Amino acid sequence: MNIPTYVITMIGEGLSENLAQECIESAKKFGIQAKIFPATWGKDIDKHFVEQDLKIYKKGQKKKDINPGLKGCLLSHYRLWKKCIESQEPMMIFEHDNIVLRDIPQKLLNTFEDVLHLDFASRQVTDYEDFTETYNGDDVKQWCPQIPRLSGHELYNKTHIKGSHAYIIKPLGAIKMVDWVWNVGALSPDLAMNSTAIDLRYTLTSFCRINPRYWMESKKRSKNSFCRPKRWRVDG
């Protein structure tokens, strides 16, 4: 697929940079020219929220879900959504722990209006490893949040597509995401995607997957996780 592609990376954090490079190399095998996008992280994250005029959506959230790591992750995606709006062209967004598994057909751009998730299988199937090895065609399905009133952690557990490590977003979708976060409040990116305001679709084939090395290394060095609060620093 030939569209702008970015890998959110914690610059200066060895594991994140190494994983991002693996993501870039995996994408290159299928003709995708992915670029590093510096994550927003750091002790000054609250200042950045003030600058963006953002608030945290707290209803239904647990304390651990609104730490600086979550804020940094959300703001990194948020900055890319705004970049997508400015460019007025579709964008593919990867997190550092993503791996591209197979060619992502250009025709997928015609199958959705807002957001297309490229690894719906993540935490949705019994055997993730086996599923990601299987090619299930290029079909796309629409994701319909079951209960719009559910929010935060409750929504995450019951109804939604988990993970924001690999997706394509169009300018219209980016506008909706930015408006929703600005009006409703900041959640993790995948929770925001599952709001009723977004036309979220997913591929039946996992075109991407989470790098298994991330899970192994993050258990040993959990400070590298996007969800850990003390490792974020400011990068623009």
Q: Is residue 210 part of a domain?
A: yes
- pLDDT 10s digit of each residue in the chain, 236 long? 899 999 999 999 999 999 999 999 999 999 999 999 999 876 667 777 777 777 766 654 554 446 777 788 888 999 999 999 999 999 999 999 999 999 999 999 999 999 999 987 655 555 566 667 777 777 787 765 543 433 444 444 445 677 889 999 999 999 999 988 888 777 778 877 877 778 888 888 889 988 887 766 655 444 433 333 333 233 33
pLDDT at 198: 83
Q: Which residue type occupies 224?
A: N
Structural domain of 28: 5-224
d(CA 118, CA 224): 23
Q: Which residue type occupies 19?
A: L
Residue 34 bridge partners (DSSP): 5
The CA distances from residue 166 to 8, 62, 147, in Å, are 11, 25, 24
Q: Is residue 163 part of a domain?
A: yes
Q: Is residue 235 part of a domain?
A: no
Residue 37 bridge partners (DSSP): 8
CATH number assigned to the domain comprising residue 17: 3.90.550
d(CA 162, CA 120): 7
Q: Is residue 229 part of a domain?
A: no
Q: What is the pTM of this model?
A: 0.81
Q: Residue 94 in contact with residue 189, Cβ under 8 Å?
A: no
What is the tally of structural domains in the chain?
Answer: 1
Q: Is residue 195 part of a domain?
A: yes
Q: Is residue 142 part of a domain?
A: yes
In our burial notation (b when 16+ CB lie closer than 10 A, e otherwise), range 69-97 reads: bbbbbbbbbbbbbeebbeeeebbbbbbbb
Per the listing, tokens 């730490």 go with: 67
Treating both helix axes as pointing N-terminal to C-terminal, what angle do 68-87 and 171-184 enclose, rounded to 10 degrees?
140
pLDDT at 153: 42
pLDDT at 137: 75
d(CA 60, CA 63): 10
Q: Is residue 234 part of a domain?
A: no
User: Which are the contacts of 160, defined by CB distance < 8 A and separation ≥ 6?
Assistant: 145, 190, 191, 194
With H, G, I as helix, E, B as strand and everything else as coil, classify residue 10.
coil
Q: Is residue 233 part of a domain?
A: no
User: Which are the contacts of 179, defined by CB distance < 8 A and separation ≥ 6?
Assistant: 197
